[in-house]
Structures are given as structure tokens and as C-alpha cells.
Structure 1
């Protein structure tokens, strides 16, 4: 399992979708959540950087888990997600600061895969109960959502599927951003 987290974490970092210590990922296996450790470097995950805790119980290594554990748990409880990937894609985050509306991809891949990407707002954006309450609703209508000014949360049956939505969103956001500089729509 560590190898999958390592591969996806490296892909996120190389793609510029996270900073050295940013982002987090998890998968659910029954009632157990496997989630990246708080402060881990996703691009260089090592043994011990993926911790296991309960979906509904603070057991195992929950104190070591990402600060977004409360959000991951809420998404698992209220959606059919099997994997969650949280990143900080710069163009998508920039677009989220310019609108309170969904991001609507104008490129073919983004339009096909994503259609509309909900943008949600919260006073406390990192690991808050407010995000835990709002995000599952957004992810029940789309495979990825952007938390205004913070980052994206993608869900899938695997981490690879969640990565696909994350990279498609960032490319779509970049295309919107670049085309808007030349008279295209935002």
C-alpha cells in the first residue's frame, strides 16, 4: 500500500500540485482509514508516513494523521468515495479566489471529465468542522471540489482516479486563466 501512496505523492509533487509538505491522501478499507501523516512530504513518503485509524473511532495513529482527517472521515461517511486526494493546484486555487460560482472547464478533457467543479467557502479552511459539513455535499455532485483559497479535494474508487480529476482540474483552470488573458471567458 505504501508504494501506491509513494507513486501518487511523487506525481502530485512533480506536477506542481503541492508544495514540499502540502496536501494529503487517504483510502478507506472497511472501517479503517489509511491517511498520510501530518507534515509528511508526499513527494518523498517513507515507511511510517501512512497511518491507520478508524472511520468512526479515534484509535490507532489518529493523533499522527493529517489535520484534514475530520474532512476525510466526513467524505467517506457521506459519499461512496474509496479514495481522497487533497492538493493545492495553483491555477484552480487562483480561479477560486475570483468567483463564488462553479468552475466550468472550457477544454475538451475538462468538460468531459469534470463538467462543473463546485467552489465552496469556509471561514476556517484547514481541517475544520465547517469544511467537513460542506465538502461531502459538493463531492456528491462532482468528483472534485475546490475549497476557496485553499485547494482541491478529489474522490475516486482509487487514488489514481482522484489524481486524474486533480490534474484535469488544474489543466482546465490553467486554460481558463490563460484564455481569459486574451479575451476568453473566465
Structure 2
């Protein structure tokens, strides 16, 4: 069993953050019980990642539970099964994008609803959507990812972008950290939600016109910090404090 005494401080913090992300996915309704997957490259490495053993409900995942799996599929630490699609999606994505240290794949409702549309485009009609301008890639559906060719196909479709909208399937997002990836997951679902709700009225959507669109895209960069503090880190820290009050065992 991995504990704070048996691993580095950096690995333990990574485990705590990844466990928090799973619990938060349950809180927000982003999970599908024991399915879908979040992974994080092990601190200090670019060839192995943390993955929850298949069979645990996301509401019970703790920091100590994660497996360490390498890109060849070998289980280096931990107990429990490695689910096929988790490995075949995440290993190729991490290998192709070592900067994307965290990869989160879900079938969360509104992002998945968006993926079902004939033209699954996140329209530049809301402030949240503008934050994803130029960052979303599309990938056609090809069935279950039961071999790594499918993961490599997804990685090629993603390229250097941040979000991979998987047609007829769901979404995969990337980040340099758990905090960044979860922030992306959260705001992409919010942007998809308001778009789907607006489209459900049957009325045309009003997109943000140029030059306001370009100006707002730039503002996303220039307003990334508040008094020198990173917005994304502040968001995730606040979410973890919520978990600390409600279900502190995630950090065990």
C-alpha cells in the first residue's frame, strides 16, 4: 500500500490531487460509476502514469489506491485491474504529449450531447466558450479503444490542442497538472451546457462578434492571475477544501 511514508512528497501530492478530481467528478455528475478514466504522469517521469484500478466507484477512490502503469502496460505499483480502454487511450496520449501530464476522459452529459450533433462545434456565443477558442479538436468515433492504434489516432487528432471532442462518445481534456485539467473539464462542460440549453429553445444563437472575440481571447491570458495568484490553482484549492469538509478520506 502506498502511503506518505512510502513515496516522495511529490508523488503523494499527485495522488491526493488525482483522487480529489475523481471525487469532484462524482460531485458534478461527470462520472459514469466505475467507467471513464483520469490519469497523471508520475512526478519525475514521462513514461508511467497513475491510474485508478478498475472496479472502484469514483466516490470511493483514495490517494493510496492508484496504480502506477508504464507505457508498455506493466503494472509497477498498486493492486487491481488495468482497464483496457483506459490504457489504450491514455498511454498514447501521454506519449505523444509529454507536456499534457494529466489526461481526463469522460462522458459528461452536455459535452457528450455536443459531440452527438452533426456539427459538434462549441460556438463562440458565451464567455466560457471563448476561453476555448482554437483549443478544441474533433475525432470521429471508431468503437471501443481495445488497442493502442485507437489511442494513437486520438493523439494525432488532438495535436497541440487542449480538448479532444470525441464524436458520438464524449471528451478528453489535457493539462499540465490535475488542477489545470480539471479546470478545463469544468468550464468546457459549463460552456457546452449553456450552448445546448440555448439551442434547445429553437432560436438562433448570437455569436460574439469581432473584434470583441479576439479581445476577450487575449483577456483570458492577461487575467490568468489575481494579485499574483493563479486562478486555476485557486479554483482547485477551493474545490479540495470543499472535499476536506465533506469527504476527507479522499486524501488517505
User: TM-score, normalised on structure 2?
Assistant: 0.65
1:103 to 108, 113, 122: 122
Describe the SS at the equivalent of 1:65. Answer: coil
Distance 1:130 1:175, change over 3 A: farther
Distance 1:102 1:136, change over 3 A: farther
RMSD value over aligned CA atoms? 2.5
Counterpart residue number, 1:145: 164
Counterpart residue number, 1:156: 175
Cα shift readout 1:89-129 (whole Å, capped 9, x = no counterpart):
11111111112554334211221245452231232134543
2:83 to 50, 63, 66: 66
**Structure 1 residue runs of 4 or more that deviate by more than 6 Å after TM superposition:** none
TM-superposed CA distance for 1:133, in Å, is 2.2
Aligned equivalents of 1:109, 1:26: Cα separation in 2: 25
* 1:17 aligned onto 2:36: no
Aligned equivalents of 2:149, 2:112: Cα separation in 1: 19
Cα shift readout 1:63-85 (whole Å, capped 9, x = no counterpart):
72233112111011111211111
Aligned equivalents of 1:41, 1:25: Cα separation in 2: 13
Aligned equivalents of 1:168, 1:111: Cα separation in 2: 11
Distance 1:106 1:44, change over 3 A: farther
Contact 2:158-2:164 at 8 Å conserved across structures: yes
Distance 1:127 1:110, change over 3 A: farther
Counterpart residue number, 1:51: 67
Q: Give runs of aligned pairs for residues 69-84 of structure 1, distance below 5 A.
A: 69-79=87-97, 80-84=99-103
Cα shift readout 1:119-168 (whole Å, capped 9, x = no counterpart):
31232134543531222123324211122232211111111211111111
Contact 1:91-1:174 at 8 Å conserved across structures: yes
Describe the SS at the equivalent of 2:23. Answer: helix
The gaps in structure 1 that reach 5 residues or longer are none
Distance 1:32 1:127, change over 3 A: same
Q: Which has more radius of gyration? A: 2
* 1:168 aligned onto 2:184: no
Count of aligned pairs between the two proteins: 186
The gaps in structure 2 that reach 5 residues or longer are 1-11, 207-252
Aligned equivalents of 2:148, 2:121: Cα separation in 1: 22
